[in-house]
Structure 1
């Protein structure tokens, strides 16, 4: 059954999305670990640096800022307007745009496409996941390398349970609780921030996509899975970075 609606995609209440400056404090990037892994994957698969890259779900643009030091033509897209506004202010040299990964069409192709931070997991309905993969294909050319950061359904116990904000104007700590909704393949996270001013609650549902399921979506849109990679960093311990190459739509 596939009864979810557009509302499910925006079923997110997140303090860090509303305040992107705090997002960069909590998720400090671990020395650009994700971007460096993507750089390695792209070099291994292309045999050289990529000349162009589209980052869908770019957030504050920190990963893209690092990748832009090696890739001359980069574009970042995110559904959260506050994130794009912050990214444009902090990183004005990069082309950032607001867009929905289900419908985005920039009318051009890239040599590399990335989607980090569980952005794809915010898409819940099967038909919308299919639309998102179609968007990746619409911006690909034969040989384009796609890298997706996915939640490994077998390692959800590795997702972070505690979070801290410690800056001059704000001290806050949060505990996250997770609950599986198996029939819908959703993982619910409820996070409560404790600060001097009181409590702030976060809520998000992540869609869990299993490896063969993802392979099916990708294959339907002309992608061949190349492999999966991991990082040992705490905040990415539950992640599988899936690389795929676009072969083109089959006639």
Structure 2
């Protein structure tokens, strides 16, 4: 693989993506499973009458849906990467994956839950894109169904600059090769976007690849307003614990039992929301 052959190094190479972002304990999927069992006890995953139908927007490799399918959920995934969709279909039995755009989508399914993890919702860069996505979510959900989202927290960047405006370096090993990247984050204040420039060095070659991406920065009250206008009631919003926080997501709890979320200050770098279709 050369830089010229890659549009996006990680999303075009799903196995490399999973190596870069390992989740051996399936923390993200367990987070979703616990939330759904707590808020949708009438459609427990292994219910003989009707297992819960779950759509993952930005499903990536299908790893989270693969876990949920193994728990008995009926799982559908949408992603813009054809490589990711093919990988999910091949590697994770019980997962139905298709190409799709979370900003405007249609699936032939009435859903119990829509999940949108790892800041996928923040690829909606404008209010109109976000409103379109949330309207699509509400149109596919049954009344009482859930939207479960996990993302960067815009409020975190109000007073924290340690992640911004200077390069950071990272590396990981896969199949005996070391992959290195230099990453710089900065805020585009006018567009309310967190922008990223990542410079990859392809191992064992002279090839390099520079990629740019951006995420909408949403504040808790702002997101709550968008959800209400789209037909949702926010049932919980918190910064920690969570699958990508320092505190992590606890293991070994009873099915459907959530940790004590307490009174969240919403100052952490992650934002989690559980919203119910009304």
Q: Report what 2:185 is aligned to.
A: 178
Q: Report what 1:29 is aligned to.
A: 23
Deviation at 1:64, TM superposition (A): 0.5
Q: Report what 1:15 is aligned to.
A: 9
- Count of residues in correspondence between the two structures: 235
Counterpart contact for 1:178–1:187, Cα < 8 Å: yes
Deviation at 1:30, TM superposition (A): 4.9
Counterpart contact for 1:20–1:60, Cα < 8 Å: yes
Q: Which structure's residues are more often helix, by fraction?
A: 1
Distance 1:44 1:159 in 2: 34
Determine if the alignment matches structure 1 residue 196 to structure 2 residue 204. Answer: yes
Deviation at 1:233, TM superposition (A): 4.2
Deviation at 1:103, TM superposition (A): 2.1
Determine if the alignment matches structure 1 residue 211 to structure 2 residue 220. Answer: yes
From 23, 33, 39, the counterpart of 2:33: 39
After superposition, what is the alpha-carbon deviation per residue over 1:114-161, rounded to whole angstroms, capped at 9, x for unaligned?
011211111212111111111111111111011011211133568795
Counterpart contact for 2:123–2:214, Cα < 8 Å: yes
Q: How does 1:37-76 map to 2 (within 5 A)?
A: 37-47=31-41, 49-50=44-45, 51-76=52-77
After superposition, what is the alpha-carbon deviation per residue over 1:66-106, rounded to whole angstroms, capped at 9, x for unaligned?
11122331111111112101211212432111111122111
Deviation at 1:205, TM superposition (A): 0.9
Q: Report what 1:5 is aligned to.
A: none
TM-score (norm 1): 0.85
Distance 2:65 2:169 in 1: 26
Deviation at 1:171, TM superposition (A): 1.2
**In 2 relative to 1, CA 130–35 (structure 1 residues): closer, same or farther, beyond 3 Å?**
same
Distance 1:73 1:123 in 2: 26
After superposition, what is the alpha-carbon deviation per residue over 1:5-28, rounded to whole angstroms, capped at 9, x for unaligned?
xxxxxxxx6310121111000111
Distance 1:133 1:106 in 2: 14
Give the root-mean-square deviation of aligned CA atoms: 2.3
Deviation at 1:246, TM superposition (A): 0.4
* Partner SS state of residue 67, structure 1: helix
Determine if the alignment matches structure 1 residue 97 to structure 2 residue 98. Answer: yes
Unmatched segments (≥5 aa) in structure 2: 1-6, 46-51, 249-267
Distance 2:72 2:218 in 1: 30
